[in-house]
């Protein structure tokens, strides 16, 4: 039962660092990698986007669109009409179909809700940008985010996707076994380390989470219960 709790602690520290715009901007600036997914990104623009805290901007945009039933209905009308008339395009100028679903809000005590919020927000970006640019929504047009701010959100989603997949793996078991906790936790840390190597700009935030993860891993390593559980699970599996 402590597995999701420990995961939550590690990820919350990453999210706190990522949204601490001043600290994050300074450390990302030092670990900067100019090429982002094959696209050359301007360093000053990206750092400025971090400073603006895109997570908070995303929450504000969601709140503005969901503020009333009438506005939510208008937004969904734009989504459906836009899909039918092929209005929406990706940042690479490719036609896309936006999922006809509601925007999600996150809960501060659940890191995975922030992951789902960002995931849904990015999936619906073409419709959001279109909706906030329409003349009838001028009063909330200031909530439209820049390409760099969307990129920062995508980067945080990359980080959160790792613990999400590991937690899903644990949750997929009808009766989670203690013996699988350590291998899953090792997978979690290894995946984060690989992500930090692949995207150096993400390392400052990932390292914060890894520091906490490693401290808990040491505690597990010193607990005989996990070793016994893994050996027992292996023996039963062989049978």
Task: Convert the pLDDT of each residue in 71-130 to its tens digit.
Answer: 999 999 999 999 999 999 988 889 999 999 999 998 866 778 899 999 999 999 999 999
Q: Tell me the average pLDDT across 207-224.
A: 77
- Residue predicted with more confidence, 222 or 111: 111
Instruction: Check pLDDT > 60 for residue 225.
Output: no
Coil, strand, or helix at residue 46?
helix
Q: Tell me the average pLDDT across 162-174.
A: 73
| pLDDT (0 to 100) of residue 85 | 96
- Please give the Cα distance from 208 to 195 (Å, whole number): 14
Q: Which two tokens stand for residue 45?
A: 């623009």
- Residue predicted with more confidence, 142 or 176: 142
- Which stretches of the chain are DSSP H helices? 2-19, 21-30, 43-51, 54-66, 69-85, 111-123, 125-133, 147-171, 181-198, 203-221, 224-238
- Residue predicted with more confidence, 131 or 222: 131
| pLDDT (0 to 100) of residue 199 | 87
Burial class (CB in 10 A: 0-12, 13-18, 19+), 238: exposed
Burial class (CB in 10 A: 0-12, 13-18, 19+), 70: exposed
Instruction: Check pLDDT > 50 for residue 239.
Output: no
| pLDDT (0 to 100) of residue 154 | 93
The chain-wide mean pLDDT, for the chain, equals 82
Instruction: Check pLDDT > 90 for residue 234.
Output: no
- Residue predicted with more confidence, 36 or 166: 166
- Please give the Cα distance from 100 to 129 (Å, whole number): 15
Coil, strand, or helix at residue 105?
coil
């Amino acid at each position: 039962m402590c597995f999701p709790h420990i995961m939550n602690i590690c990820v919350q520290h990453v999210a706190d660092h990522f949204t601490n715009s001043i600290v994050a901007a300074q450390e990302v600036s030092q670990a900067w990698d100019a090429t982002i997914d094959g696209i050359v990104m301007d360093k000053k623009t990206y750092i400025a986007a971090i400073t603006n805290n895109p997570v908070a901007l995303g929450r504000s945009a969601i709140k503005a669109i969901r503020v009333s039933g009438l506005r939510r209905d208008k937004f969904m009308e734009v989504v459906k009409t836009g899909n039918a008339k092929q209005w929406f395009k990706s940042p690479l100028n490719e036609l896309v179909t936006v999922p006809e679903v509601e925007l999600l809000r996150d809960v501060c005590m659940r890191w995975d809700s922030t992951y789902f919020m960002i995931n849904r927000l990015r999936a619906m970006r073409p419709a959001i940008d279109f909706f906030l640019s329409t003349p009838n929504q001028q009063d909330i047009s200031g909530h439209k985010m820049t390409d760099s701010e969307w990129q920062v959100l995508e980067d945080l989603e990359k980080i959160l996707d790792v613990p999400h997949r590991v937690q899903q793996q644990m949750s997929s078991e009808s009766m989670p076994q203690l013996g699988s906790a350590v291998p899953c936790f090792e997978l979690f840390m290894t995946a984060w380390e690989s992500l930090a190597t692949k995207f150096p700009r993400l390392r400052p935030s990932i390292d914060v989470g890894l520091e906490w993860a490693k401290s808990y891993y040491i505690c597990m390593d010193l607990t005989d219960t996990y070793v016994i559980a893994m050996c027992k699970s292996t023996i039963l599996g062989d049978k």
